[in-house]
Amino acid sequence: MNIWFTARGAGLSALVLVTASICLGALGSRMAAGHPQRRYVVQYLHRVCGSLGIVVLVLHVATILADSYAHVGWRGAVIPFTSGYRPTWIALGSLAAYTLVFAAVLGAARGRLAASSRGAALWRTLHALSYGAWAAALVHGFESGTDSSLGWVRAIYVTCLVAVVGATAARLVPRRRTDAPRRQPTHVHTRPEMAGAPR
């Protein structure tokens, strides 16, 4: 039972960390607009959350494999759709794990891959696969988890979903330019007529 608690806790923790990483990545340009130091901090937190998410994900997979009651097995974890327990949803988890690791490797190699404008465009396209991996992980956790009926567990899934959808929507909304000089209103001052002056 302790292994099961560890496996589920690690799975939920990995989802939360990856969600935070995706939100930071999506909102990075907005949060750090005009502030190079802030951009560095946001990117650093984005990578730290992503890296920790991968580490906790490894713990999740290891404990699932160590749990004899899970009926997943090495083959079911490595080869999609071969698990003895809920093969479709376990396969989504496996595919999500592969894609997240791939996106993490791409993130580490960004300096080399994005050296040109064409390479940068290709890197962004491939790195965006992390969104699909996150969605697959969310469905995998909800459908394969035996505790998904619990209120606090569902709250975690809903919070992660709202966070990523909100961050993605905020990224897609065009930013208003604030660097243009504001026009000052022109005030016309009229001199009051003097009493007794000829009209």
pLDDT band for position 125 (cuts 50, 70, 90):
confident
Query: In Å, what is the CA distance from 153 to each residue of 74, 123, 159, 166, 172?
Result: 26, 34, 10, 20, 29
Q: Residues 94-109: pLDDT tens digits?
A: 999 999 999 888 877 7
Residue 30 in tokens: 């907005």
Query: In Å, what is the CA distance from 179 to each residue of 34, 37, 39, 123, 172?
Result: 10, 19, 18, 29, 20
Identify the weakest region by mean pLDDT among 25-34, 149-158, 159-168: 25-34
How many whole angstroms separate alpha carbon 156 and alpha carbon 61?
20
**Is residue 149 pLDDT above 50, yes or no?**
yes
Domain ranges for the chain: 2-172
**Is residue 60 pLDDT above 80, yes or no?**
yes
Mean pLDDT, the chain, integer: 84
**Is residue 32 pLDDT above 80, yes or no?**
no
User: What is the distance between the terminal CA atoms of the chain, rounded to a whole angstrom?
Assistant: 100
pLDDT band for position 137 (cuts 50, 70, 90):
very high
Q: Residues 158-184: pLDDT tens digits?
A: 999 999 999 999 888 876 655 445 555
**Is residue 121 pLDDT above 90, yes or no?**
no
Model-level pTM? 0.81
How many whole angstroms separate alpha carbon 166 and alpha carbon 177?
21
Identify the weakest region by mean pLDDT among 78-92, 101-115, 172-186: 172-186
